[in-house]
């Protein structure tokens, strides 16, 4: 993956803001998520341990995607081995350089990146997290989770669209990671 970002201005994002974002989420610049793409099983044990994703229970490439509230794909990172954390992907990509003062982003619970976004003057909305299976959300946490999920769905649609390209339906060869620059031509 990996592409030069099509980074719209704040004004352009607001101009095309869906109704569901108006009010509480009207300053959201993007919805960030990571996505994993299945890859070949490496023969080398070290490579296998780097590529293995506990989440998918198979070997994967992982990349960061940012979708604007109106559904535009505005950022796609280079691919990384599947074991990489979301925080590491953000640190290694140029995404943090795009964050401007006052930007707000939505993400899922696993994105523990408040400080990375705050360093650039932005803020992050993620749903509340339960710390054990027996924890119960209070009423406000339930509404917060539903509120974020109702607007985060745009990112899921964007990622589904990216994966619908025929190149991502198949198992990706490991050579793609060795020649990451070959993937720069994939532009959303």
pLDDT score for 5: 58
DSSP per-residue codes, 143-159: HHHHHHHHHHHHHHHHH
Q: Is residue 172 in some structural domain?
A: yes
Answer yes or no: is 53 within a domain: yes
Residue 21 lies inside a defined structural domain of this protein = yes
Q: What pLDDT shows up at residue 181? A: 39
Above 50 in pLDDT, residue 86? yes
pLDDT value of position 99: 92
Give the domain range for residue 69: 10-185
**In whole angstroms, what is the distance from residue 102 CA to residue 26 CA?**
11
Secondary structure of residue 182 in the 3-state scheme: helix
Q: For residues 117 and 171, which has the higher predicted lDDT (pLDDT)?
A: 117
What is the number of alpha carbons within 13 Å of residue 59 lying toward its C-beta?
18
Cite the beta strand spans of the chain per DSSP E.
28-38, 52-53, 58-67, 73-76, 80-81, 104-106, 123-125
**Within a domain: residue 4?**
no
CA gap 72, 13 in Å, rounded:
10
pLDDT at 8 exceeding the cut of 50: yes
Residue 5 lies in a domain: no
Specify the pLDDT at position 188: 36
Higher pLDDT, 124 or 156: 124
**What does pTM read for this prediction?**
0.76
On average, the pLDDT of the chain sits at: 78
How many CA atoms within 13 Å lie on the side-chain side of 46? 0
CA torsion 26-23-149-111 (nearest 10°) is 50
Q: In whole angstroms, what is the distance from residue 59 CA to residue 79 CA? A: 13
pLDDT digits (tens, 9 = 90+) for 149-183: 778 777 677 777 766 664 455 555 566 554 443 33
DSSP symbol at 73? E
Give the closest residue to 89 by CA, choosing from 36, 16, 48: 36
Burial class (CB in 10 A: 0-12, 13-18, 19+), 82: buried
Question: For residue 1, is it within any domain?
Answer: no
Instruction: Tell me the pLDDT band of 40, cut-offs 50, 70 and 90.
Output: confident
Q: Looking at per-residue confidence, does 83 or 180 come out higher? A: 83
- From CA 15, how far away is CA 173, in angstroms rounded? 41
**What is the total count of domains within the chain?**
1
User: Is residue 2 included in any domain, yes or no?
Assistant: no
Distance in angstroms (rounded) separating the CA atoms of residues 107 and 98 = 16
Residue 114: inside a domain: yes
pLDDT of residue 173: 58
């Amino acid at each position: 993956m990996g592409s030069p970002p099509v980074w719209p201005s704040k004004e352009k994002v607001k101009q095309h803001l869906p109704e569901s974002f108006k009010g509480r989420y009207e300053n959201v610049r993007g919805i960030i998520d990571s996505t994993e793409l299945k890859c070949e099983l490496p023969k080398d044990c070290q490579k296998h341990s780097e590529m293995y994703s506990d989440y998918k229970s198979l070997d994967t490439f992982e990349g960061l995607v940012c979708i604007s509230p109106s559904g535009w794909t505005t950022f796609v990172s280079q691919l990384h081995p599947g074991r990489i954390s979301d925080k590491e992907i953000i640190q290694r990509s140029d995404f943090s350089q795009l964050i401007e003062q006052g930007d707000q982003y939505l993400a899922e619970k696993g994105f523990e990146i408040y400080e990375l976004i705050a360093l650039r003057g932005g803020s992050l909305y993620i749903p509340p997290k339960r710390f054990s299976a027996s924890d119960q959300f209070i009423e406000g946490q339930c509404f917060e989770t539903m509120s974020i999920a109702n607007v985060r769905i745009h990112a899921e649609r964007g990622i589904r669209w990216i994966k619908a390209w025929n190149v991502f339906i198949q198992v990706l060869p490991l050579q793609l990671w060795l020649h990451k620059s070959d993937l720069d031509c994939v532009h959303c």
